[in-house]
Each structure stands twice: as C-alpha cells, then as structure tokens.
Amino acid sequence: MEEKIKIMEQGQGWICLEKPGGISVHNDPGRDLISGLQKQLGPGSTEILQPVHRLDKETSGLLLVATARDTLAGLSALFTEGKVTKRYKALVHGQFEHPDQARGTWDIPLTKSAGGRTDPRGRGKRVEALTCFRVLDHSLHYTLLDIELFTGRKHQIRRHAKLAGHPVVGDPRYGSPQSP
C-alpha cells in the first residue's frame, strides 16, 4: 500500500481511519491497510495495531483500529455486546415495491463462513443474521439502501441482498452474472 492512509480521528489507544475499497484490512502482509498504517506511523509508535471490526476487502468506510491492548478489549466488548451501530450504504439491483417508503428486514439465517453465488446461505449450521434496510433513492434499475447490521456474519449484506433478489451492484461473488 503506497498511498497515505487518511486518519479521520485519533485518541488514547485508538485510530479511526478511512478504508478505501479494494484493499484488504490485514490478510495481505506488506500490501494491506494495517501494514500501510504501521509503515506510515513508524515502527514502535504503537503497542499494537489491531482492527476492532471487519470490513470486506471491496468495502470502503471507516475502520476503527486499536493501538493499545486494553483499548482493544474495551472496544471489542462494545461490538460484541451490540452497543455499536453498524451502518452502510449499498447500491443494489432492482426496485423495491413502494420504494418511496420502503423499509424492511432480511433475517435469513446464514452460516458463519461465506457461501457462493449459487449458495449464499452457505453450507453447514446456520445462525441468526439480521439486516435492516431503508430505501434512500431509486432509479429504473437500481436502489440505494441505508443498511444497519445487527449481527456480523461474513459478507452478510452481500449474501442477504442476493437472497432477497437484489444483489449488490458490482459484487463479483454474489452479484448478478449479467452485471458482475
């Protein structure tokens, strides 16, 4: 990762940064976001650099990174206890019935591991997965959604959108075969 990482806010034991789409958070040593942040801050500048939550490689948004172990434990507990609101915007294929007032919930159980285009629920034991959405805008072929996650399954928004018949635009894994 060569470009400078944009730090939005920083405090005692944490950094909030802007994660661009197309970059892995921490699974590509030397090229991922955490490696880039470590290089930008300089060696030994923090106790740890550990993401507090996940964002898919393709997803852009704000990412909270702990720089101290005690802060990581405290922030992780807030996420685990459901005390953090997780909001996203997604552009999906198709229109919703009565789009000007559309709100809804996707509550199809999913496996903890990712499925694929032909099996987005995943194989094996399925667990609760809850996604709420509100239509923000729409056109003839697309709808912009404001999404709130209440659980955190791998690729949850992408999988639920696919199962609801409204795959996320540009999603190569769960998206429409006609418009990957």
DSSP 8-state secondary structure symbol assigned to residue 129: -
What six digits make up the tokens of 130?
């809850």
Distance CA 121, CA 8 (A): 35
56 has catalytic annotation: yes
Find all residues with CB under 8 Å of 79, minimum gap 6, and list them: 52, 53, 152
Q: How many CA atoms lie within 13 A of 178 on its CB side?
A: 2
**Catalytic member of 28, 32, 56, 107:** 56
DSSP 11-61: ETTEEEEEEPTT--SSSSTTTSHHHHHHHHH-TTSSS--EESS---TT--E
Any idea which residues carry the catalytic annotation?
A: 56
